[in-house]
Amino acid sequence: MEIWTNSPQLETGQRSVAAIGIFDGVHKGHTRILKTVVERARRAGLKAVAITFDPHPSQLHNPENPTLLIQPLPDRLDAMAALGLDATWVVPYTWDLANQSPQSFIDHYFVAGLRVKELVVGEDMQFGRGNRGDIETLREAGRTQDFQVIEVADITDQDSRRYSSTRVRACLAKGDVEGAARILGRSYRLRGIVERGFRRGRQLGFPTANLGGTEGLAIPADGVYAGRLIRSVPGTNAVEHLPAAISVGTNPQFSGEKVTVEAHVLGRADLDLYDEPVAIDFLAHLRDMLKLESVEKLQSQMDEDLRACSEILGVPPAGRVNPEEVTAL
């Protein structure tokens, strides 16, 4: 997939089928729209493209409390590319852009920029200054500017609630990673670099990889989760998906203040992950974060967590490791 950061690179006379949106998380609703773009473009011999924005509009409109991202831009673009798009135009979100009238936006981005033949949109499409533009605005413009608007129905749950990025964030804020996965169509994933922590887990027999670089991302609620740690095997092209117990929170047992995301790979004491980029997939919520009467009771609870993780992940039971055998974490 081509990524355009300045202006579209269309061939002379080439037209496109396009979609527009933040597409944060590239959930099932986004996927339906983007697959429709690709399918219609292939049938018509046109370019399949999307417009997205960076940074997220909330960073301008609500800088004191910006929206937490489900995916950083590189992951979002990877997910969009996997759906078969030919190109994505990453437009800087600025005040000039935010203040454009709907018609000016249509003229600049859809007509002059992408030369759209078909524009694929969801039911809640809004754009332009004050979100004054909607599907009817587009249809009216299309009648005089030679493009067609294709409306794609929302995906909803059994209670008719629409799938959205906002709902994904709400699920994560409650620790409902299973609910987030139903909307996303995959497990929720955080990426980061493994950084050094206080090594308390190592001393307790549960060495953990501390995930750094998650600022600005939606982190599941404090608690313990079953999941997987994904890493590239050094010196090879192989990727490992390692069963893990994941802790999110401030470590109340030790009066911590900073929220950390830590993953203990079940039964492993030999992993050297410092400064390595990894991903963590959240598969199931086990329990809320607790402060117990003693470190010994914490260890017993963690033993139970490992057994629960093993059962959920379908791997052999794992217990504590010998702190003396830990080679890196």
pLDDT in tens, 31-42: 999 999 999 999
Are 132 and 26 a contacting pair, CB within 8 Å?
Answer: no
Average pLDDT, the chain: 92
The Cα 114–Cα 89 span in angstroms is: 9
Q: What is the pLDDT of residue 254?
A: 54
At residue 56, φ and ψ (nearest 5 deg) are -60, 135
For 75, 94, 124, the CA distances from 139, given in Å and listed in that order, are: 32, 26, 14
Q: What is the pLDDT of residue 300?
A: 87
Are 321 and 267 a contacting pair, CB within 8 Å?
Answer: yes
Residue 55 has pLDDT above 90, yes or no: yes
Residue 257 banded pLDDT, cuts 50, 70, 90: low
If you write DSSP's letter for every residue of 203-257 in order, what string do you get? HHT---EEEE--TTB--PPSEEEEEEEEEEPTTSS-EEEEEEEEEEE--GGGT--
pTM for the full predicted model: 0.93
Are 77 and 39 a contacting pair, CB within 8 Å?
Answer: no
List residues bridging with 285 in a β-sheet. Answer: 225
Over residues 115-142, the pLDDT tens digits come to 999 999 999 899 999 999 999 999 999 9
Residue written as token pair 């992408």: 114
Q: What is the pLDDT of residue 328?
A: 58
